[in-house]
Amino acid sequence: MYDVAERSGVSIATVSRVYRNPDSVRAQTRERVLEAARELGYVPSGNARGLASRTTGVLGLCFPDYADPDAEADAENDSGADDAAMLYSDQIIRGMERAARRHGYALLIAASLQGGPESLVAKVAGRVDGFAVLAQTVPTEDLEVISRRLPVVMLAGPREIDHLDHLVVANAAGERELTRHLIEDHGLRRLAFVGGDPDSPDAEARFRGFREACGDAGLPVPEAPDLRTGMMTRAEGARAAETLLDRGGERPDAMVFANDQMAVGALRALERREVRVPEDMAVTGFDGIPLSRIVRPSLTTVRQPIRQLGEQAVELLVQRLADPSREPVSLELPVSLARRASCGCG
Amino acid sequence: MYDVAERSGVSIATVSRVYRNPDSVRAQTRERVLEAARELGYVPSGNARGLASRTTGVLGLCFPDYADPDAEADAENDSGADDAAMLYSDQIIRGMERAARRHGYALLIAASLQGGPESLVAKVAGRVDGFAVLAQTVPTEDLEVISRRLPVVMLAGPREIDHLDHLVVANAAGERELTRHLIEDHGLRRLAFVGGDPDSPDAEARFRGFREACGDAGLPVPEAPDLRTGMMTRAEGARAAETLLDRGGERPDAMVFANDQMAVGALRALERREVRVPEDMAVTGFDGIPLSRIVRPSLTTVRQPIRQLGEQAVELLVQRLADPSREPVSLELPVSLARRASCGCG
DNA sequence: CAGAGTGATGTATGCGCTTACAGGCAGCGC
DNA sequence: GCGCTGCCTGTAAGCGCATACATCACTCTG
* pLDDT tens figures, B46-100: 999 999 999 999 999 999 876 544 443 433 344 443 455 567 788 899 999 999 9
The predicted structure's pLDDT at residue A200: 84
Distance of CA A57 to the CA centre of its chain: 22
Q: Say whether both B188 and B90 belong to one domain.
A: no
Nearest residue, CB atoms, B75 vs list A148, A294, A305:
A305
Contact B145 A19 (CB under 8 A): no
B162 found inside a domain: yes
The answer to whether A15 touches A1, Cβ cutoff 8 Å, is: yes
B66 touches strand D (CB under 7 A): no
Residues A140 and A185 in one domain: no
Q: Does residue B175 sit in the same domain as residue B279?
A: yes
Residue B182 DSSP class: I
Residue A29's Cα: distance from chain center in Å?
47
In a domain, B52, yes or no: no
C1' (C21) to CA (B136) span, angstroms: 45
Q: Describe the strand order of the beta sheet including B254-257 as a list of residue ranges.
A: B227-228, B191-195, B254-257, B282-284
The pLDDT value recorded for residue A34 is 92
Instruction: Report if residue B50 sits inside a domain.
Output: no
> Does residue A278 share a domain with residue A253?
yes
Residue A200 C-alpha, separation from nearest chain B C-alpha, in angstroms:
22
- Report the CATH number at residue A28: 1.10.260.40
User: Nearest-CA residue to the C1' of C12?
Assistant: B13
Torsion of CA B65, B71, B75, B79, to 10 degrees: -60
The verdict on A143 and A230 lying in the same domain is no
pLDDT given at position A77: 41
Distance separating alpha carbons of residues B247 and B263, to the nearest angstrom:
18
Claim to verify: residue B166 and residue B194 sit in the same structural domain: no
Q: What is the amino acid identity at position B62?
A: C
**How far apart are alpha carbons B49 and B15 in whole angstroms?**
13
Judged by CB atoms closer than 8 Å, whether chains meet at A124 and B101 is answered as: no
Q: Are B109 and B63 in contact (CB under 8 A)?
A: yes
Residue that wins the pLDDT comparison between A107 and A201: A107
Convert the pLDDT of each residue in A114-171 to its tens digit.
554 457 888 899 999 999 999 888 888 889 999 999 999 999 888 889 899 999 999 9
To the nearest 10°, report the CA torsion of A50, B39, A159, A95: 10
What is the total count of domains within chain A? 3
Cα→Cα distances A33→A48, B143, B145, Å: 19, 19, 15
The answer on B95 and B191 residing in a single domain is: no
The set of residues, in sequence order, having a beta carbon less than 8 Å from that of B255 and lying 6+ positions away, is B191, B192, B194, B240, B241, B244, B263, B266, B281, B282, B283, B284
Q: Let me know whether A124 and A180 are in one domain.
A: no
- Whether residues A160 and A236 share a domain: the answer is no
Task: Supply the CATH number for residue B89's domain.
Answer: 3.40.50.2300
Secondary structure element (H or E) that encloses residue B332, with its range: strand B330-333
The set of strand D positions with any atom below 7 Å of a protein CB reads 7-12, 14-20
Pairwise CB contact (< 8 Å): B120 & A102: no
B126 assigned to some structural domain: yes
Q: For A85-122, what is each residue's pLDDT tens digit?
A: 567 788 899 999 999 999 999 999 998 765 544 578 88
pLDDT confidence of residue A72: 39
Measured CA to C1', what is the nucleotide nearest A1? C16
pLDDT for res B83 = 55
Contact between A191 and A183 under an 8 Å Cβ cutoff? The reply is yes
- Same domain? For A272 and A201 the reply is yes
Nearest to A88 by CA among A258, A328, A276, A320: A258
B229-260 burial, b at 16+ Cβ within 10 Å, e below that, comes to bebbbbbbbbbbbeebbeeeeeebbbbbbbbb
Which residues on chain A are in Cβ contact (under 8 Å) with B51?
45, 47-48, 51
Weakly modelled stretches of chain B, pLDDT under 50: 68-82, 116-117
Same domain as B176, residue B299: yes
The total of other beta-carbon atoms located within 10 Å of residue B199's CB is 10
Residues in B touching A49 (Cβ below 8 Å): 126
Q: In this structure, what DSSP letter does residue B297 have?
A: S
Tell me if A52 is assigned to some domain.
no
Distance CA A241, CA A126 (A): 46
Quickly list DSSP for B185-206.
Answer: IH----EEEEE--TT-HHHHHH
Taking the C-alpha atoms of residue A230 and residue A82, their distance in angstroms, rounded to an integer, is 12
User: In this predicted structure, what is the pLDDT of residue A76?
Assistant: 38
Q: B78 and A293 in contact by Cβ < 8 A?
A: yes
| d(CA B219, nearest CA chain A) in Å | 32
Percent of chain A residues topping a pLDDT of 90: 69
Position B51 in a domain: no
Q: Which nucleotides of C are covered by protein (CB under 7 A)?
A: 7-12, 14-20
The C-alpha atoms of residue A229 and residue A234 are separated, in whole angstroms, by: 11
Instruction: Please enumerate in sequence order all residues whose Cβ is within 8 A of that of A126, keeping only pairs 6 or more positions apart, or say none.
Output: B43, B44, B45, B46, B47, B49
In a domain? residue A77? no
Check CB contact under 8 Å for A41 and B145.
yes
Domain limits at B8?
2-44
- Whether A302 contacts A175, CB under 8 Å: yes
pLDDT of B270 reads 97
Average pLDDT over residues A39-54: 93
Answer yes or no: do A217 and A297 share one domain. Answer: yes
B73 in a structural domain: no
